[in-house]
Amino acid sequence: MMDIAAVLKNKEAVIFELDDVLFPEKDYLLQVYYLFAQFIEYTEQKDAGATLAFLQAEFKQNGVDELFDKTAAQFGIDAKYRYNFELLHQNARLPLKLLLYQTMLDLMQELVVNRKKIFIVTAGNPEQQLNKIKQTEWNGLEQYLTVYFTDELKLQKSEIFQNILNDNNLLADEVLVIGANNFDEPQAKIVNLQYISSLEIFK
């Protein structure tokens, strides 16, 4: 198991991605699918249970690609409902709050206690990412977060990382990036930031 305390000893700030780093992205998406299945049952009298079961199984096996098209073909759902499917991804009011991984909650609370800065730099649809943030149970941590949406700023993550360094008078070796995909690591390396995959922390 990684000794994250040792890694953080000389760091002044940590930059996190959102999905599958602070919480499982599927916890958001599966609730969106539940709401869409309920919506289709209400508007088209199609069985919500069957629709949801298909969405869950298809997502688990093949991910999000063409998920609406596959579901529409399976149940004869009109293409006009693609708008509702996509809109729910952006503004769904979730039945349940998103919960941080316990490991990450503990880590962020430790950062706050030690007066270290916390940043979130997240890719993806800005409205959708903001909706996730608003519906996450932060346990009081929200007041210590500074969030950047790469798609809104139209910047590469490396450019945002550099801006964070400049704006906060931080040196590269004082900042740690915690990500979850193959894109985050090379972006961190461009500006010489230490990178750790969240998977390493969860081991």
pLDDT digits (tens, 9 = 90+) for 23-70: 999 999 999 999 999 999 999 999 999 999 999 999 999 999 999 999
Check residue 2 and give its pLDDT.
Answer: 67
Domain final position from 52, 72, 91: 91
- How many domains are contained in the chain? 2
Examine the domain organization and report whether 197 and 173 are in the same domain. yes
Examine the domain organization and report whether 71 and 141 are in the same domain. no
Examine the domain organization and report whether 113 and 186 are in the same domain. yes
Pairing relation of β-strands 13-16 and 117-122? parallel
Check residue 181 and give its pLDDT.
Answer: 79
3-state class (DSSP) for residue 177: strand
Examine the domain organization and report whether 131 and 156 are in the same domain. yes
Examine the domain organization and report whether 30 and 46 are in the same domain. yes
Cα(200)–Cα(83) distance, integer angstroms: 38
Examine the domain organization and report whether 198 and 109 are in the same domain. yes
- Indicate which CATH number applies to the domain containing 13: 3.40.50.1000
Cα(94)–Cα(27) distance, integer angstroms: 10
For residue 117, the enclosing domain spans 4-23+100-202
Examine the domain organization and report whether 60 and 117 are in the same domain. no
The mean-pLDDT minimum among 17-21, 32-36, 76-80, 180-184 falls in 180-184
Task: Report the chain's mean pLDDT, rounded to a whole number.
Answer: 95
Examine the domain organization and report whether 53 and 87 are in the same domain. yes
Check residue 5 and give its pLDDT.
Answer: 81
Domain final position from 69, 91, 113: 91
Q: In Å, how far are 147, 162, 173 from 170, measured between CA atoms?
A: 17, 9, 8
Per-residue confidence at 201, pLDDT binned at 50, 70, 90? Answer: confident
Cα(114)–Cα(117) distance, integer angstroms: 9
Examine the domain organization and report whether 64 and 52 are in the same domain. yes
Examine the domain organization and report whether 184 and 105 are in the same domain. yes
Torsion of CA 171, 174, 180, 185, to 10 degrees: 50
Q: What's the mean pLDDT in 96-125?
A: 96
